[in-house]
Amino acid sequence: MHKILVTRSSMPDITEYVDEISSLFESHWITNAGEKHEELTDRLRDYLGVRALSLTVNGHMALEIALSLLDLKKGGEIITTPFTFVSTTHAIVRSGFTPVFCDIREEDCCMDPDKIEEKITENTVAIMPVHVYGNMCDVKRIGEIGKKHGLKVIYDAAHTFGVKLLYEGEWRGSGSFGDLSCFSFHATKVFNTIEGGAVCCRNEEEARMVTELRDFGIADEETVKYISPNAKMNEFSAAMGLCNLRHVDAEIEKRKKVNDLYRERLSDIKGVRLISERQDQKSNYAYFPVFIDKDEYGEDRDRLFSRLGEKGIGARKYFYPMVTKLDCYRDSYDSSETPVAGRMADSVMTIPMYADLSPEDVDKITEIIRNRE
């Protein structure tokens, strides 16, 4: 059976990668901010349109280091979303803070700005919204709320590499919002360094501090300023990033074609809801979520998920369960307080999306969705 995975890592031609890493076998400098690492830092800063950034070993450590950088009051509350990958919440808890969950908007699955202020208490120290499926949060309103209440805003931007928003008359990259924005360059993302991440900063001084925080807190050979982890990106990952960055715009264009085919074939199916495309945003087509209304569609999400699997098609219930229903959090939170997130988590399924997904495979997937049993 021809299996179609839910995602497929973008990779350069092997000869391109071999050529990129060949100098490493001459220098033997394969970690600790070598030439590939520094080149990728410069190229990503320009591509993302940010003032400064520092690379990390993965997106999760980018979040933890961002929280360390801001020197927030330990034990304080951070408002975030339950509709996210668990890394977001883990980063908050592991850093010594308490997550407070705000509900989401149905139209884009991002944090609902109308519900943030009711979650703010005297213990609130920050807001950590998540851009979901490549859809950006309402950065203007969230920024205003943060400023009004003196709260830091750290964006989990893992899903929005290359996404741009028309903001006050100009196109701005997703990494340029908030006090800090954090990316994941995991193998499943639109842009990958195999594993990797980055913290986008407001200035070079902050980026320098991130660089120290990601390297045991070491400032120089005789000075250790912070108690920090080892979260450096190695040269082989940076080299993969340099290769993939050359092709990422073409990859996004290919993803757009897959997205357009899906929308053409699924938009008229009763009980299958798609997230509307935004005119003020240049998407990266990171994921293709569908939301199943059992009453209208005729079967629930889980049955459709099983039918696709029986036909060799990988799908993912992403994000399900929502964070407050996971074993490690459910005893501490009341999931009924975020009903929209709960409803979306119970009905969502992301179907295969990657640049090289063929029109024939799109047809196969959509026909199974169309032909309910």
Is there a single domain that holds both residue 228 and residue 268? no
Residue 216: CA atoms inside 13 Å, Cβ hemisphere, count? 7
Instruction: Please state the domain count of the chain.
Output: 2
Mean pLDDT, the chain, rounded, equals 97
Contacts of 270 (CB under 8 A, 6+ apart): 296, 297
The pLDDT of residue 373 is 66
Is there a single domain that holds both residue 183 and residue 290? no
What digits encode the pLDDT tens for the residues 110-150?
999 999 999 999 999 999 999 999 999 999 999 999 999 99
- pLDDT-derived band at 372 (thresholds 50, 70, 90) equals confident
Is there a single domain that holds both residue 40 and residue 131? yes
Please report, for the domain that includes residue 324, its CATH number.
Answer: 3.90.1150.10
Is there a single domain that holds both residue 233 and residue 324? no
Let me know if residue 177 belongs to a domain. Answer: yes
Expressed as residue numbers, the domain containing 112 is 14-243
Model pTM?
A: 0.97
Place of tokens 């060799």: 312
Let me know if residue 2 belongs to a domain. Answer: no
Residues 79 and 124: their CA atoms lie apart, in Å, by 7
What digits encode the pLDDT tens for the residues 315-364?
999 999 999 999 999 999 999 999 999 999 999 999 999 999 999 999 99
Last residue of a domain, one of 224, 243, 262: 243
Please report, for the domain that includes residue 76, its CATH number.
Answer: 3.40.640.10
What mean pLDDT do residues 212-229 have? 96
- Looking at the DSSP assignment, which residues form a beta bridge with residue 8? none
* The length of the chain, given as a count of residues: 373
Let me know if residue 1 belongs to a domain. Answer: no
Is there a single domain that holds both residue 233 and residue 311? no
Last residue of a domain, one of 225, 243, 261: 243
What digits encode the pLDDT tens for the residues 234-249?
999 999 999 999 999 9
Residues 205 and 202: their CA atoms lie apart, in Å, by 8
Last residue of a domain, one of 202, 218, 243: 243
